[in-house]
Amino acid sequence: MAPEMLEVPVCRRLERRVRDLVEADQQSVAHRMDHLNRVARNAKAILEFYPEADAEILYLAVLLHDVDQPFNDKANHVARSAALAERLLTEIAYPPARIARVLDVIREHSTEHIGTVQPSTIEAKILFDADKLDGLGAFGILRVFALSRQVGRSLPDTIRWYRSKIAVATPNVQTPEGKAMMENRLPLVEAFLSDLESELEAG
Ligand SMILES: [Fe+2]
Ligand SMILES: [Fe+2]
């Protein structure tokens, strides 16, 4: 578990449980413990600019936002993860009012629903950006192609899917810090996808 999350006692209490869940065979390979750790690192970088944000709520949402994301049911992963997060937090007697706040952050993290569900709190804005950032850069590329292999998606379909995800994520970035980090990571992805397309066309 990333040091940022280890500093939050309630995250530490959930560590083993979450690790077992996200490392299970049916979980998307792009949404395992390493993803949660990188999102925590991104979140920390943004959180430094927002001292008013509740770090415990944020890191709990980081830890639990993809806790139930089977590789073949991405579309429902937000509702599934929120439901499981509620169960896990209730089991450890986390205060109900704070559980509700964590669940709101989880429900607002996905580009799948960004048309209708916008991040409404600073914690939700930070998670949104921290999560999208892990879809870019070298790890973003690795994750997309690893998941495509797991779901059996073709290379051309993967390129189209990846471009469509980027097209939704970038204009919806929530913080100036997230935007700057995104702009740093985008050129590598653009160059990689363009090269891959050229090489595919050349056969
Ligand atoms: Fe997610
Ligand atoms: Fe995520």
Q: If 0-12 CB within 10 Å is exposed, 13-18 middle and 19+ buried, where does residue 71 land?
A: middle
- Write down all domains in the chain, each with its CATH number in brackets: 3-202 (1.10.3210.50)
Give residue 112's pLDDT band: very low, low, confident or very high (50, 70, 90): confident
Query: How many angstroms does the Cα of residue 125 sit away from the middle of ligand 1?
Result: 14
Complete DSSP assignment for 153-164: --HHHHHHHHHH
Query: How many angstroms does the Cα of residue 66 sit away from the middle of ligand 1?
Result: 5
Which ligand has its closest atom nearest to the C-alpha of 78?
A: 1
For tokens 């939050």, name the residue.
Answer: 8
CA proximity to 89, closest of 77, 102, 80, 79: 102
pLDDT in tens, 44-59: 999 999 999 999 999 9
Instruction: Output Rg (C-alpha) for the chain, integer angstroms.
Output: 17
Q: How many CA atoms lie within 13 A of 133 on its CB side?
A: 28
Take residue 26 and report the two structure tokens written for it.
């049916």
For tokens 């959930």, name the residue.
Answer: 14
Query: How many angstroms does the Cα of residue 199 sit away from the middle of ligand 1?
Result: 31
Query: How many angstroms does the Cα of residue 62 sit away from the middle of ligand 1?
Result: 10
pLDDT in tens, 5-14: 999 999 999 9
Residues, CB within 5 angstroms of ligand 2 (ion): 66, 131
Give residue 77's pLDDT band: very low, low, confident or very high (50, 70, 90): very high
